[in-house]
C-alpha cells in the first residue's frame, strides 16, 4: 500500500472539496466547488458534482497507481440499508449515495460521517497525532463527535460511536430538534448558547458577540458564558470519566474561544469523577481542512 494515492471528498452544505494525497501523505491538489442546492433534483445535482470532482481529481494521480476514494458526508450511512441518514443536507436522506457513486465510477468508495473524518484527521496528522485513543468533538452550529483508536475510526454497533451531542443531560432544559429535552447540543453548540442568551435577555446575538461582551465585562454575557463553561465542564468531565481517552481534540467554531482551553478545562477538572485529571484537551490543528484530509484517510 506504500504506493497508494488517496483521494478525499468533503461534502458540506455549502461546498464540496477534494484533495489528492501522494503515497507520502502530501497534498498534491485541492479544489472546491459550490454544493448544488435547491430544486427537486438537488440530490442528483450533488451526486453529479461529487462524481465530476472525483473524476477530475483521479486524473491527476498516475494512471498506473492505486488510489483509494473516501467521501465525508454531513450524516451517516445506515448500516443496514446503506442509504444516507441523519443528514442536515436533507436531500441526501434515504439516498443510496455510496452505491450511486460506485456505479458511476466502477470502483469502491468509502463514505463516512464528517465528525469521524474530523477525528481521524486530527488523530493521524493533527493535534492528537501523538495519542492512540482520541475523542474528537465538533462544537459548531451543532455538536458531533467521533472516536479513533490506533488511527482507526471506532464505528459502534449502530455506526454512531462518539455521537454525544444528543445525550439528554437536563430534563428541565429546552427542547432539542431531535425530540429530546436538554441535549448536550442545546448547551454546548454555538447555536445553543446564542439561543440561551436570547431566551433570557430577548436579544439575538451570536456566541462570538457574547464572548466579546464577556471579555469586556458585560454582566449578561458573563452570566451566559459562565453557564456555558459549567456545562462544558460537566459534559466533558462526564465524558472523561466514562471513556478516559488519551486526548480530546475540539473543532468547529466554538473551538476558536481561547477560554475553553483555560477556564473550560478548569471546570472539566472540577466535574470529572476522578482527581488529577490530566487529559489533554486540544484545539484542532487542521481547521477547515480536517474534513477533507479525514475523508482521504478513510479510503481503503
Q: Which spans of this chain sit near Zn ion (rule: CB under 5 A)?
A: 166, 176, 178, 180, 183
- How buried is 219 (Cβ within 10 angstroms: 0-12 exposed, 13-18 middle, 19+ buried)? exposed
Maximal C-alpha separation, the chain? 64
What φ, ψ does residue 48 adopt, rounded to 5°? -70, -35
3-state secondary structure of 150: coil
23 versus 182: smaller Cβ distance to Zn ion? 182
Whole-angstrom distance, CA of residue 247 vs CA of residue 258: 18
Q: Find the shortest distance in angstroms from Cβ 185 to Zn ion.
A: 5
68 versus 86: smaller Cβ distance to Zn ion? 86
122 versus 231: smaller Cβ distance to Zn ion? 231
Q: Find the shortest distance in angstroms from Cβ 176 to Zn ion.
A: 3
38 versus 179: smaller Cβ distance to Zn ion? 179
Q: Find the shortest distance in angstroms from Cβ 191 to Zn ion.
A: 12
Whole-angstrom distance, CA of residue 59 vs CA of residue 53: 10
142 versus 251: smaller Cβ distance to Zn ion? 142
Nearest partner of 84 among 118, 53, 112, judged by Cα: 112
Its sign, for the CA torsion 120, 124, 129, 130, is positive
Instruction: Retrieve residue 79's grid coordinates.
Output: 448500516
Contact (CB, 8 A) for 78 and 85: yes
Q: Which residues pair with 31 in a beta bridge?
A: 18
Q: Find the shortest distance in angstroms from Cβ 184 to Zn ion.
A: 8
137 versus 296: smaller Cβ distance to Zn ion? 137
Q: Find the shortest distance in angstroms from Cβ 199 to Zn ion.
A: 17
3-state secondary structure of 81: coil
Q: Find the shortest distance in angstroms from Cβ 165 to Zn ion.
A: 7
Nearest partner of 192 among 225, 155, 151, 160, judged by Cα: 225
Amino acid at each position: 500500500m506504500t504506493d497508494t494515492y488517496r483521494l478525499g471528498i468533503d461534502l458540506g452544505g455549502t461546498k464540496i472539496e477534494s484533495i489528492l494525497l501522494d503515497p507520502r501523505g502530501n497534498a498534491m491538489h485541492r479544489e472546491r466547488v459550490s454544493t448544488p442546492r435547491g430544486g427537486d433534483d438537488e440530490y442528483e445535482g450533488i451526486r453529479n458534482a461529487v462524481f465530476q470532482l472525483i473524476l477530475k481529481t483521479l486524473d491527476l494521480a498516475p494512471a498506473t497507481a492505486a488510489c483509494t476514494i473516501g467521501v465525508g458526508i454531513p450524516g451517516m450511512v445506515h448500516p443496514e440499508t446503506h442509504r444516507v441518514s441523519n443528514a442536515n443536507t436533507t436531500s441526501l436522506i434515504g439516498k443510496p449515495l455510496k452505491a450511486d457513486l460506485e456505479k458511476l465510477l466502477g470502483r469502491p468508495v468509502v463514505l463516512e460521517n464528517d465528525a469521524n473524518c474530523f477525528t481521524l484527521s486530527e488523530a493521524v496528522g493533527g493535534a492528537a497525532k501523538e495519542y492512540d485513543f482520541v475523542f474528537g468533538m465538533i462544537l459548531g452550529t451543532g455538536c458531533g463527535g467521533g472516536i479513533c483508536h490506533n488511527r482507526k475510526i471506532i464505528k459502534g454497533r449502530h455506526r454512531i460511536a462518539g455521537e454525544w451531542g444528543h445525550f439528554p443531560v437536563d430534563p428541565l432544559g429546552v427542547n432539542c430538534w431531535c425530540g429530546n429535552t436538554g441535549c448536550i447540543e442545546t448547551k454546548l453548540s454555538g447555536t445553543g448558547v446564542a439561543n440561551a442568551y436570547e431566551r433570557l435577555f430577548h436579544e439575538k446575538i451570536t456566541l462570538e458577540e457574547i464572548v466579546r461582551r464577556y471579555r469586556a465585562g458585560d454582566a449578561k454575557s458573563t452570566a451566559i458564558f459562565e453557564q456555558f463553561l459549567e456545562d462544558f465542564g460537566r459534559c466533558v468531565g462526564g465524558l472523561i470519566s466514562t471513556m478516559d481517552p488519551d486526548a480530546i481534540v475540539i473543532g468547529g467554531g466554538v473551538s476558536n474561544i481561547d477560554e475553553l482551553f483555560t477556564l473550560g478545562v478548569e471546570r472539566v477538572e472540577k466535574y470529572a469523577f476522578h482527581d488529577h485529571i490530566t487529559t489533554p484537551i486540544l484545539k484542532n490543528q487542521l481547521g477547515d481542512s480536517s474534513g477533507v484530509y479525514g475523508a482521504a484517510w478513510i479510503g481503503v
